[in-house]
Structure formats: C-alpha cells, structure tokens
Structure 1
C-alpha cells in the first residue's frame, strides 16, 4: 500500500524503460523558486546575460520596423507572444551558464558557447528548427485570422487598430479566435520543450528522448506547467515594453529560471557527464605531419 504512494510523491519513470528519467511532482511554489533562482543567476552574471541576449531587443526592433513598414501592424502582438515559441532554443547558452554556476565553476560569456561542442548540439539544433517552423506557422496563421476578420485593409494608425479590435464585433472575434489558436501553438511548444533543451545539455540525450520526457513532465504536472507557460508569456509580453528592450532582462531571467525548473522536474542524473576533449595545439614546425594522426603518433 505504501509503495505506490511513495512513487507518486517522489516521481514516476517509464514502465517500458526503467532507465528513463524519473519525473518529480511539482508544486506551484516551485515556479516562484525557479524564478528567484533565475534572478540570482542573472544578478551574479548580469553583463554576460545582457551580452548574450542583446540580439533579442535588436531583433525585436527590426521585426517591429518591418511590420510597421509593411503596414501589417496586427502582427506586432503575435510577434511579441511568439518569442515564447523559440525562446527555449535561444536560451541554451544561459542554461550552460546556470549549470556551471550551480557546480561552482568559473563562468564567463565564452563558456555559454561550449554548447556548440556538446554531443547533443545537433539534437538541440533540430528541435530549434522545429520550434522556428512552429513560430513561422503561427505568424502566418495570425495573419490569416486577421484577414478573415477584417479583410485586407490595413489599420491606418495604432489608435485606429486598437479601436477596431476593442469596439467592434470583428475585433472581439479576432481576440477570441486569435487567443484560442495561439494557445494551441503555445501548448504544443510548451509540452515538447519545457525541459528539453536543459535535459539535452545536461544528459546529452537525443531530441526525441528529451521531447518525450518533457511531455511526461507536462502530463505529470499539468497545472504547474500551464501556470509556467502563462508566466513566460506574460513576462515576454511585458518585455516588449518599451520597444522590446525589456527582453534584455526578461529573456535571461526566464532562461536561468528554466534551468532551475528542469532541475526540480527530474531526479538527478546518475550518469557521468560527458566533457569534450581538450584542444591540442601543434606548432607550425609539425606541419604537414600534424594533419595525419597516424604519422604524428610515430614521432
């Protein structure tokens, strides 16, 4: 009688694969803990995080300028919320920084780029491409929803657009349908990536194994993961004010917090961590022998 209860409290593993990561039961308080730990990481490494994330406000400004330039202002909100779809991949360097700080190792901006030498980087890249495709599909879908409700006539100004959205039946339809469809996109991205990238970085699993484990975490903790998704979306939306500059703080905060959420969601890994072999430098005098390892070993 006590054994099943203990299993539920401490976590569950896949019945078909006893070596699968053990999923823990999360609580709503864990979200606050993850955010506080992420904030501590950000305060300890602020310059590094800002350097790593400076591309986000720059990208946001470029995207906003493109949107305004082509008079498709309604895409500003989908673009802002769409950061949540690609954010997990964009923050992989931040996960590495949090991992190193957790282990008490030296941390610098350059250490974030060690993910490029990770054995699972190809899997991270593949999942990142999948999330990017999801982001592009969401933007195209949002544009189609706007055309379906308002037609092809663009809004002349921001006040005009806001007025049309908030005071007309078509605008209410746009809000309901757009938020509903956007929720489905966010749900898919959240379930497959909530802990996938930190897991691949930490345990060097395949993208498929990471996505399956991420979905197991979401299935075991639906309320907590839904609340986490809401927090992420709300903070990213706030980060777009003013002119996307807030993302320089919000993105590193969420990136570090995601690492800590991953650490709370799974039992610790018992397998030794892979470390890439150190680079070996050869003097110019050894060229061209240094190009052939079998010849170099004879000397």
Structure 2
C-alpha cells in the first residue's frame, strides 16, 4: 500500500504540492519499470526513437566539441517534452489500459498547444545555452580541439584549463538546475489537467523547492541513467523510456 504524503500549500489556488521522502525516486523507477513491462512494445519504440536521435547527435557533433557538450546537455533539457508519449502510456495504464505506440501519440495531439508553448521555451533555453557554450570555448581558447575525444584528452584531462572547466560546469549547471526545476512535472501536469504553461512551470518549481532532498536524488538518477544510455547507446532503448515512465509517477506523487 502506498504511504500517505504530506500536503503543502493548501492555501494556494494552484495545484497542491505534496512532501515526499528522499528515497521515493527509487520507487518511481520501480513503478516506471512496471509500466514499461506492461507496454513493452510501445515503450521500446520510444527507446529506439531516442536512441536514433542520440546516435545522430553523437555522429553530427563529434567533430565540434562545443556543439557536442551543448547537444548532450540539450538532450537532457528537452527530455521532459520528448517523453510526453511515455507519460500518456503511464496515464492510460493507471486506468487499466495498455496502448500502442500510435495511440500514445494522441497525448501530443490532444495537448498540442500547451506542449508547443513549452517546447518554444525549451528551444529558447537550448539556443541560449549553445551560444553561451560557444562564447566560453572562444573566451578560453579551447575552440580548436579537434574532436569530442580530443576535447576530453586535451582540455578536460590535461589540467591546463581549470577555469574554463569550472566556468562551463557552473554555467551549464545553473541552466540545467533552472530548467529541471521548471520542467520536472510541467509536461505531465499539462497532459493531465486543464492548466496553462506558466502555472505548470510555477507548480514544478514549487514541487522542487518543497522537496530539495528527493529532487536532488531524482536529478542525479536521471543524469546518471541518461549518461549510461549515451555511453552504451543501446542502453537508451531501455533507460530513457524507464526515466520517462518514472517521471509520470514523480508527478503523481508530488502533485495532489
């Protein structure tokens, strides 16, 4: 039986945020795995699609180090929107239904306007991060690294660019933290309720600030699983759908 959750901010006319335990992200992964098992074909279809996109990103940007880093982190930034079909699968499973990949796309169509607005926001952030990344590479004279592999050897492991590495991680980390806070439950709530994009993002931010421990664990798990997916590439077929399904359960536990 699921444990009861404490409800915060009942005074607000916005969606109410629950307090969750620090260990709950692992439960979300367990529930996500159950969703994936029950809808294996549809979930794996998304995994194959994401793997194809990931492979294209690696192939296209491997010769451009500043684009490589921005593209990989950008993949994380747009992940919540890309996983909308997986949220639809999990939402339907709660009603006792299993659906196909094609039917899961209805989630995009039925909420296309709000998802489009949210996608525009993510695109704006991604473009800004790409420009900032290029500026940092240029400012610290590391723009000429021959490839992504060369960048690792000549920059990250050489010990010659500590200020660049610290600046890159700081700027990228701040952007990632802001986007994570604004998006962690935004797309699920947009697909589940009649709510506008601004309210969805504000609710997501409140959920994160109300549960810093659990959200830190969840962010670390998401980054680790997606990093493993990129490292193995084939692992994306399983890991990215798993994160998508688990994100739906994060939303259901965090928002009343």
Looking at structure 1, the residues matched to 151 and 145 of structure 2 have their Cα atoms a distance apart, in angstroms, of 10
Describe the shift of the 1:98–1:157 C-alpha distance in structure 2 as closer, same or farther (beyond 3 A): closer
Which of structures 1 and 2 has the larger relative contact order (alpha carbons within 8 angstroms, sep 6+)? 2
Instruction: Please state how far the C-alpha of 1:107 moved relative to its aligned partner.
Output: 1.8
Q: CA deviation at 1:108?
A: 1.7
What residue in structure 2 maps to residue 31 of structure 1? 25
1:222 shift after superposition = 1.8
Match of 2:213 in 1: 223
> Does 2:137 match 1:146?
yes
TM-score of the pair, normalised by structure 2: 0.90
Could you tell me how far 1:82 is from its partner in structure 2? Answer: 2.4
In 2, the alpha carbon distance for the partners of 1:96 and 1:157 equals: 36
CA distance in 1, matches of 2:38, 2:28: 15
Counterpart in 2 of 1:245?
234
Gaps of at least 5 residues in structure 2 are: none
Q: Does 1:60 align with 2:74?
A: no
Q: How does 1:64-213 map to 2 (within 5 A)?
A: 64-68=58-62, 71-118=63-110, 120-155=111-146, 158-159=149-150, 161-170=152-161, 172-213=162-203
CA shift in 2, pair 1:47/1:106, >3 Å: closer
1:98-154: CA deviation from partner (whole Å, max 9, x where unpaired): 011111023221221111342x43112211221122122222222221222234323
Between the aligned partners of 1:210 and 1:157, the Cα distance in structure 2 is 36
CA contact (8 A) 2:38 2:98 kept: no
Rounded to whole Å, the distance in 2 between the matches of 1:208 and 1:153 is 40
Aligned length in residues: 252
Instruction: State the SS of the aligned residue for 2:20.
Output: coil
Output the CA distance in 1 between the equivalents of 2:121 and 2:196.
14
SS at match of 1:155: coil
CA distance in 2, matches of 1:107, 1:176: 46
Structure with the greater alpha carbon radius of gyration: 1
Find 2:249's aligned residue among 247, 251, 260: 260
Partner of 1:3: none
- Structure 1, unpaired ranges of 5+: 1-8, 268-299
What is the SS of the residue equivalent to 2:165?
A: helix
Return the offset for 1:57. Answer: 1.8
CA distance change for structure 1 residues 160 and 129 in 2, over 3 Å: closer, same or farther?
closer
CA RMSD, 1 decimal: 2.0
